[in-house]
Structure 1
Amino acid sequence: MSGPLDGVKVLDFTHTLAGFFATVNLADLGADVLKVEPPTGNPLRKDEPQVRGESAYFMAINRNKRSIVLNLKHRAGREIAQRLADRSDVVVNNFRSTVMSALGLGYEELRARNPRLIYASLSGYGATGPYRERAAYDPTIQAISGMMSLTGLSDGPPILCGVPVGDLTAGTSLAQAVLAALYARERTGVGQRVETSMADALVFYLSGYYGPAYLADGRVYERVGNRIPFCAPYGAFEAADGYLVLVARTDDQFRRLSRALGHEEWADDPRFASPEARLANRDAVERLVTERLRTKTRLHWMAALDAEGVPAGPVNTVGEALSDPAIRERSVIQQGHPRGGVIDGLANPLRFEGTSVERYDASPLFGQHTRDVLRGLGYSDDEVTRLAADGAVVVGAGD
């Protein structure tokens, strides 16, 4: 069964996680993603841990793609890139705004050759504005967006999120923009430029309460650890063998929680009789919950909480999460690699009834498809050999 983007050709100039995450989402949906690498290779190929000489990280975010190595500083390398763009539905890059134009691969240049082209750009701070040329990494975006100010304990320093949310949200947002542009092209017959930035994407995620609160009345919330301003009890609580998270936002949920913990009388205590009362007495209700949870294991309490329908979950390590049979059933897949062997990977979270996202081809070796792609453009093997000798391309292993 083919994927929903079967037949869509994507030329991928991305070189960091945010861009890789955008294009792996498109590749998982069935797009033919051709990854353009420089002759020096992408540095992420060297990241640890290595599996038989291949980076597990690189393999995860570049599966279902092909690789061609082009020297974009070489005239012939740029010409090949332009010819590939002529045949593509989508071009994706995450360089700063002036880089692609300087290479003759900017939007205006490529649109003139291919009016149906969707040109997708992702940067740290966007193509416009005073920060457009500023260097960016995920931690700097977490900081400037305000997100980092909300993470950590009230009496401690701001803390980075445990995963690179600036990269991942930006990549997801750009993939979403590409899908919308492809749909629009079905109606109009022409492509367009789409653009987002890491800062734009992460600031938009402040929509989860804190941004609207400030815009409404200037209210600025400080970090409060695992608490939130409008609900108690809420957050991580210590059991006998670790932590679990629970939420009791409504009166019904709090009564169910009280029953699960063996203290149904809590729900009738005037201090806890309404959401407002529980907020006013947050310290008291959280102390009671914590004291009770510490008496037994997470497994015991999860059974009791599940039986009462209380939203709860153990605070797993990554290893515990990916060893949970229920999570593995939906979220862990196996994929083969010519060097890495058969390895576990993380499944795409989307499910379709009429199309498939079950194609999990290995990430490409460096320049693995250079010769094959150039043959498709009409180059003979002798011409490819000369291009490689001239330094315009690199023909990699397996090609």
Structure 2
Amino acid sequence: MQFPLEGLKVLDFSRVLAGPFAGRMLSDLGADVVKIEPPEGDVTRFWGKVIAHLPGYYHQQNAGKRNICIDLRHPDAKALVNALVAEADILIENYRPDVMGRLGIGYEDLSQINPKLIMLSISGFGHDGPESRRAAYAPVIHSEAGLIYRSHQEAALSQTDPDFQDLPLSVADTNASLHGLIGVLSAVILRNQTG
């Protein structure tokens, strides 16, 4: 069986959910996704019940991916990343906006190595502006969007859970991944049409 994204190479530098979920979907569609993790591993390797040596959460977001460990702070890391990027089609990252650039592996740096590289860069509050450096975890985004307040009102009215704190799933992370995936697939189509 042939999958629609066979032949595409993806580097997934992202962690937790916003980003890894997009990488998982690209893998499900046939792309060759390589997850780049720090020496200590993705933080989700230590979350929840362990099944087959890893927590279910980690399996769910990273199924179908290959893994490589790169310490991005190591002096030789940039050369290794550059070699991987030269062969990649897509790169996914969800660090704070200044991190990749500070490491010398921001879009401006990497697009010089591979001008056809498509980069999905997920940040909670944009890449510039007064809020861009804020950490963005799902409860923060849910609160800022009014989702927790609204859901708390509904829980209180139905008297199902008067101690409601947050949504049972991360709407912020999954929506960021889905919208990012739409952008990536659109960019792949445009790149295929225009070169």
* Cα separation, 2, equivalents of 1:178 and 1:5: 12
SS in 2 for 1:39: coil
Q: TM-score, normalised by structure 2?
A: 0.92
Residue-by-residue CA offset, 1:250-300 (whole Å, 9 max, x unaligned):
xxxxxxxxxxxxxxxxxxxxxxxxxxxxxxxxxxxxxxxxxxxxxxxxxxx
* Cα separation, 1, equivalents of 2:51 and 2:163: 36
- State the percentage of identical aligned residues: 38
Q: Which residue is equivalent to 2:177?
A: 171
* Cα separation, 1, equivalents of 2:127 and 2:42: 24
Q: Which residue is equivalent to 1:64?
A: 64
The question of whether the paired residues in 2 share the 8 Å contact of 1:21 and 1:61 is answered with yes
SS in 2 for 1:36: strand
Q: Which residue is equivalent to 1:91?
A: 91
Q: Which residue is equivalent to 1:113?
A: 113
* Cα separation, 2, equivalents of 1:52 and 1:188: 44
Q: TM-score, normalised by structure 1?
A: 0.46
Offset at 1:149? Answer: 2.2
Offset at 1:86? Answer: 0.9
**Structure 2 residue 194 is the aligned partner of structure 1 residue 188:** yes
The question of whether the paired residues in 2 share the 8 Å contact of 1:149 and 1:159 is answered with no
Unaligned runs of 5+ in 1: 190-399
Q: Quick one: which amino acid aligns to residue 134 of structure 2?
A: R
* Cα separation, 2, equivalents of 1:152 and 1:96: 29
Offset at 1:99? Answer: 0.4
The question of whether the paired residues in 2 share the 8 Å contact of 1:149 and 1:158 is answered with no
* Cα separation, 1, equivalents of 2:145 and 2:164: 13
* Cα separation, 2, equivalents of 1:112 and 1:152: 48
Offset at 1:158? Answer: 6.7
Q: Which residue is equivalent to 1:137?
A: 137
SS in 1 for 2:67: strand
The question of whether the paired residues in 2 share the 8 Å contact of 1:14 and 1:20 is answered with yes
Offset at 1:79? Answer: 0.7
Unaligned runs of 5+ in 2: 157-161
SS in 1 for 2:125: coil
Q: Quick one: which amino acid aligns to residue 189 of structure 2?
A: Y
Residue-by-residue CA offset, 1:64-96 (whole Å, 9 max, x unaligned):
100011111112222111110011001110011
SS in 1 for 2:126: coil
**How does 1:148-163 map onto structure 2 within 5 Å?**
148-153=148-153, 159-163=165-169
**Structure 2 residue 138 is the aligned partner of structure 1 residue 126:** no
The question of whether the paired residues in 1 share the 8 Å contact of 2:16 and 2:43 is answered with no
**How does 1:293-304 map onto structure 2 within 5 Å?**
none
**How does 1:185-334 map onto structure 2 within 5 Å?**
185-189=191-195
* Cα separation, 2, equivalents of 1:8 and 1:112: 19
* Cα separation, 2, equivalents of 1:183 and 1:3: 15
Offset at 1:159? Answer: 4.6
* Cα separation, 1, equivalents of 2:125 and 2:153: 28
Q: Structure 1 runs of 4+ off > 4 angstroms?
A: 154-159
Offset at 1:157? Answer: 7.2
* Cα separation, 2, equivalents of 1:65 and 1:92: 13
Q: Quick one: which amino acid aligns to residue 86 of structure 2?
A: D
Residue-by-residue CA offset, 1:276-326 (whole Å, 9 max, x unaligned):
xxxxxxxxxxxxxxxxxxxxxxxxxxxxxxxxxxxxxxxxxxxxxxxxxxx
Larger-Rg structure: 1
**Aligned residues between the structures:** 189
SS in 1 for 2:153: coil
